[in-house]
Structure 1
């Protein structure tokens, strides 16, 4: 199975070896699009996709994402970034070039419930998630067999609130050993410490089994049932020090009624969780997300 997936990834990297992306956020002022478009043209790049957003008020912000093709891009990356600094300084930009051939290396954290993990593995196997899933980390052994069937290393690191710092030290070492770019919490049921989060800013994507900001924390389906909700949902967000309050990437909902008990809500909720997390991860991997304050701009 690993070789089958590797063919997907190798084919993608070859097909998009000259594909680059440029993400920019800066104070809104005239001339930004013209300046960047001219820059890309002068460096032999052809823009294939462009999306932008302005907050449209005095002192507002401007956000834009370019995707472009440029012949022999690998040899031009350093010069391209060095040359762009002048424009970036002129417009006070926060900016980042990324390259499609440089696939992000992903670690998935999971506890006992496998549905979100399986959705990611299936999407990866089919070629819908272009990433190198380098390792799966779990505080339980339940997922080992399925993970290893995909040819992915599985690391069992017990974690409870009593040994959290010890567990996170081991986890951080695993992330370093595997050179991880993105961490996906696929129903990983442990709270991360500020130290862990600080070492991975906007690189940790979580799925919360509730339509945030409702029912933050544990047992949201039970509390939703007790409240008699008519809609349930799931939320994928970046992890920050504030529990379940990081910038939201994606959400979805489904209607329920008085006939649904707490178990019914959980079953329906799991379907939403799977798709919401997979979409959020895909957009992150494709560099479609900009974070501003505690909000996201998602060019999807």
Structure 2
């Protein structure tokens, strides 16, 4: 069976990059199945994502040869095999709508994830995890034990070889240290249309301000609370008759959709970081 790979890259823009990449793959028996590129005129950077099939070289051989190819272009690049779904650990607290939605999508074959563990500071969803045959780890975060709790969490992430951590309404602020360790591989869903209504209880804030649109934002986790690079956002229209409870119910549906899209794009290697922003090849 012909193996498929995804190459993502960014580098200073110059003429001939697409030609060089396609030529490199052609010379090694690669057949391009999907390609997209973007030139950021503001930063002078070039971004590209290529999915290609190749059975003449192994994954390791391709990586080794890419090192020499990429160096003259000053490329930052990653090569991914499509054979295995992305190993993922999901964090959750007491609200399980996003967790339930993600697990159902994975089970239905709609998300290319291999969910290796569910981590929670509460016990609410151990039965849901068991119904999907996924290990559930209850790690309370109380008092002054945050450092020890995060050490256990990171041990699970590393032992499972997780490429992605999803904060599916995990209502704890990660330490700067853990944020750095998970840089570029942890996605949070914020129940607000950032940058508005940051922090806790945004639906209460939105109701108090009488908003006409509520939304949700999926973004990468950084040490700056709710300020990581945004992957996806969406909104739902509301009016003066909505209570905090009905706002929250409407918002939860939006959260599920936004998080699922962001996770799908990340797991398909469609998201490239561009400073504080993202480039997304949908």
TM-score normalised over the length of structure 2: 0.97
Of 17, 20, 34, the match for 1:32: 17
2-side partners of 1:160 and 1:35: how far apart? 54
Q: Deviations over 1:147-167 (max 9, x none)?
A: 111100000000136321111
Is 1:84–2:66 an aligned residue pair? yes
Listed as ranges, the matches of 1:185-264 within 5 Å are 185-264=167-246
Deviates more, 1:267-276 or 1:257-266: 257-266
Q: Deviations over 1:110-132 (max 9, x none)?
A: 00101000010000000011121
Q: Deviations over 1:128-184 (max 9, x none)?
A: 111210000000000000111110000000013632111101111111222221100
- For the residue of structure 1 that corresponds to 2:144, the secondary structure is helix
2-side partners of 1:263 and 1:216: how far apart? 19
Is 1:65–2:49 an aligned residue pair? yes
Flag the 1:248–1:161 CA change in 2: closer, same or farther, 3 A: farther
1:156 paired residue number: 138
Of 253, 258, 261, the match for 1:279: 261
Instruction: Give the number of aligned pairs.
Output: 282
1-side partners of 2:239 and 2:87: how far apart? 41
Q: Deviations over 1:190-236 (max 9, x none)?
A: 00001111111111100000000000100100000101111000000
Gaps of 5+ in 2: none
Q: Answer whether contact 1:109 1:136 (CA < 8 A) is retained.
A: yes
CA RMSD, aligned part only?
1.3
1:107 paired residue number: 89
> 1:87, CA displacement in angstroms?
2.5
1:136 paired residue number: 118
Q: Answer whether contact 1:19 1:70 (CA < 8 A) is retained.
A: yes
Of 22, 28, 33, the match for 2:7: 22
2-side partners of 1:177 and 1:105: how far apart? 11
Of 162, 171, 182, the match for 1:180: 162
1:3 paired residue number: none
Flag the 1:113–1:34 CA change in 2: closer, same or farther, 3 A: same
Q: Deviations over 1:242-270 (max 9, x none)?
A: 00000000000011111111111100000
2-side partners of 1:81 and 1:71: how far apart? 14
Gaps of 5+ in 1: 1-13
Q: Deviations over 1:82-110 (max 9, x none)?
A: 22223211111101111101332100000
Is 1:45–2:27 an aligned residue pair? no
> 1:277, CA displacement in angstroms?
0.4
Q: Answer whether contact 1:160 1:190 (CA < 8 A) is retained.
A: no
- For the residue of structure 2 that corresponds to 1:158, the secondary structure is coil
2-side partners of 1:245 and 1:230: how far apart? 23
2-side partners of 1:111 and 1:23: how far apart? 33
> 1:289, CA displacement in angstroms?
0.5
Q: Which has the higher helix share?
A: 1
2-side partners of 1:161 and 1:19: how far apart? 48
- For the residue of structure 2 that corresponds to 1:162, the secondary structure is coil
